[in-house]
Amino acid sequence: MSAHSEVAPLSPSAEEHFLNVDGIRLRYLRAGRGRPLLLIHGLLGYSFCWRRNFEALGRHFDVIAPDLPGIGFSERPRDLDCSLRAAAARMLRLLDALGIEQADVIGNSHGGGIAATMAADAPGRLHRLILSAPINPWSEHGQLLTAALASRAGRVAFPAIWRGLRRMRGYILRRMYGDPARIPARSVEGYVAGLMAPGTTEYLLGVMRCWHSDLRQLERIYSKLDLPVLLLWGDRDSAVLPQSAQRLRSLIPQAELRILPGVGHLPHEEAPDEFHRVVLDFLRHD
């Protein structure tokens, strides 16, 4: 176990690994055995966010949860292309490096956009796709903020804004939950551990610069997905609004939609038992 894993404890079911993808040192956790299942976290998360899922999913699948380059305990290279298309290509090359020809993929929030882009850019590489509150152009919440942060003034101000956000980290996590009483102990400390390394702000600003062009790209991508897709939302999601789910379901040819009552933006973390039941039912249905 690495020193940083003592700050953000590993699930007892998962093992820590590192490999190079495009010359970037990438950290990932792996658990279980069976058909490969890739888990892609959201913007301010890393593999820590799946800590409540490794054991249950690992009983049926070979679960792989990377820290995306730029965050968590993966390397933060300068001038990293932070677009969805580049991030999706890196995840496909991760599968290549692991010798995986085809995988099921779960993506949450920004990770959902990455997962959808993988499916569109590499037809046949994904077997089934689960998009948990994926970013999309029809949820307007936060779009003004991301546009402001992508501006020149926003880029200059962001380091100070980021220091303020770090002080509000408990409040931010509570906003991600439908019921903050369900937040597991030491969750705030675990998330913060993956944000502390130098280069995090540059990565986040890089994502912001691509945000609106990525949303326009997703408008085309979602309608082209040609595989079974589960859309999963909590009805108390205040980050990616549940109202956008119906538009996505109408666009994606093979989509089904499940809404979890009383749950916020992180169903896998807030309601893991219900999440596992819905996910396994979908993934094991052939």
Backbone angles phi and psi of 78, in degrees to 5: -70, 150
Label residue 192 by pLDDT band (50, 70, 90).
confident
pLDDT tens per residue across span 165-175: 555 466 678 88
Query: What is the pTM assigned to this prediction?
Result: 0.91
| Spatial separation of the C-alpha atoms in residues 34 and 129, rounded to whole Å | 17
Q: What is the 3-state secondary structure (H, E, C) of the chain?
A: CCHHHHHCCCCCCCEEEEEEECCEEEEEEEECCCEEEEEECCCCCCHHHHCCCHHHHHCCEEEEEECCCCCCCCCCCCCCCCCHHHHHHHHHHHHHHCCCCCEEEEEECHHHHHHHHHHHHCCCCEEEEEEECCCCCCCCCCHHHHHHHHCHHHHHHHHHHHHHHHHCHHHHHHHHCCCHHHCCCCHHHHHHHCCCCCCHHHHHHHHHHHHHHHHHHHHHHHHHCCCCEEEEEECCCCCCCCCHHHHHHHHCCCEEEEEECCCCCCHHHHCHHHHHHHHHHHHCCC
Position 142 pLDDT exceeds 60? no
Rounded to a whole number of angstroms, the distance between the first and last alpha carbons of the chain is: 37
Q: What is the pLDDT of residue 164?
A: 54
- pLDDT of the residue at 109: 96
Predicted confidence at residue 107, as pLDDT, reads 98
Least confident of 15-29, 65-79, 153-167: 153-167
Nearest Cα neighbor of 48 from 169, 174, 191, 196 is: 191
Rounded to an integer, what distance in angstroms lies between the CA atom of residue 278 and that of residue 56?
12
Round the average pLDDT of the chain to a whole number and report it: 89
- Per-residue model confidence (pLDDT) at position 167: 55
- Does residue 116 surpass a pLDDT of 90? yes
pLDDT score, position 3: 44
Residue 157: per-residue pLDDT: 56
Max avg pLDDT among 95-104, 150-159, 167-176 = 95-104
Tokens of 101: 């020809």
- Please state the rounded mean pLDDT for residues 129-158: 69
Q: Is residue 132 within 8 Å of 112, Cβ to Cβ?
A: yes
CB distance 160 to 134 below 8 Å = no
pLDDT of residue 13: 81
Residue 4 pLDDT more than 60? no
